[in-house]
Amino acid sequence: MVGVGAVPARYEHVSWKRVSPVAESESKDVIELLLEQHQQVRDLFSRLREAQGAETRTDLFRDLVRLLAVHETAEEIVVHPMARSTIESGEQVVQERLEEESSAKQVLSQLYDMGVEHPEFAGTLNSLAEDVTEHADSEEQREFAQLRQDLPADRLRELASAVRAAESAAPTRPHPAAGESAAGNMLAGPPVGIFDRVRDAVRDWNREHQHA
């Protein structure tokens, strides 16, 4: 039997974080998950900005739509309502964030309709990146920090499963090894459909977990 600490030499560089993603993600609270996603959104915008080739940019754009559908929907259905009723000036803080999210969704749809090779795609994407980054900064400073102060830790951990419900409802990028083609990939469809699908799943989660 292998005792604690007897890590085979070839795994010594691998952190526990990487070998046990499920256990780790299940212990995180909703704010930690949302902050991680903010970073993923920022990273995806910069990768998209630098990416060469229509196929790569299309893939990255789909990843962005998926991530924003998961993230913004969990916020809209679960986190913002909680903030609205809990934090100081919640009504105003949340209203501003909802308006920013709604306009970002519209721009995502415009970008989808344009396609990555449209001459205005890059400019529109840059302005979306600025708006979404500013939006995330506002949430971090005016909403998340306050929620962490005002809500008990176990409630914040419980709310993390809303983000996971959103995750599991969002279509993933097809794997070429599974024989899925680029045409199959298109089945994911326009952003509005992806947001709707995720919204249904998070609403179901909300119905099952509602208690104040």
Catalog residues that contact Fe ion under the rule CB under 5 A: 72, 75, 139
* Residue with Cβ nearer Fe ion (104 or 192): 104
* Residue with Cβ nearer Fe ion (141 or 149): 141
* Residue with Cβ nearer Fe ion (72 or 167): 72
Element (H, E) at 121: helix 121-139
Q: Between the CA of residue 194 and those of 30, 63, 152, 188, what are the distances in Å?
A: 21, 11, 32, 7
* Distance of alpha carbon 95 from alpha carbon 186, whole angstroms: 33
* Distance of alpha carbon 109 from alpha carbon 100, whole angstroms: 15
Q: Residue 100's CB: how many other CB atoms inside 10 A?
A: 18
Tokens of 48: 């998209």
CB of 211 to Fe ion, least distance (A): 24
CB of 93 to Fe ion, least distance (A): 12
* Distance of alpha carbon 189 from alpha carbon 44, whole angstroms: 20
CB of 158 to Fe ion, least distance (A): 19
* Residue with Cβ nearer Fe ion (139 or 167): 139
CB of 42 to Fe ion, least distance (A): 11
Instruction: Please calculate the CA angle 126-195-112 and round it to the nearest 5 degrees.
Output: 40
* Residue with Cβ nearer Fe ion (101 or 174): 101
CB of 13 to Fe ion, least distance (A): 33
Q: Between the CA of residue 24 and those of 17, 32, 93, 126, what are the distances in Å?
A: 7, 11, 31, 33
* Residue with Cβ nearer Fe ion (83 or 116): 83
* Distance of alpha carbon 174 from alpha carbon 180, whole angstroms: 6
CB of 14 to Fe ion, least distance (A): 30
* DSSP 8-state class, residue 89: T
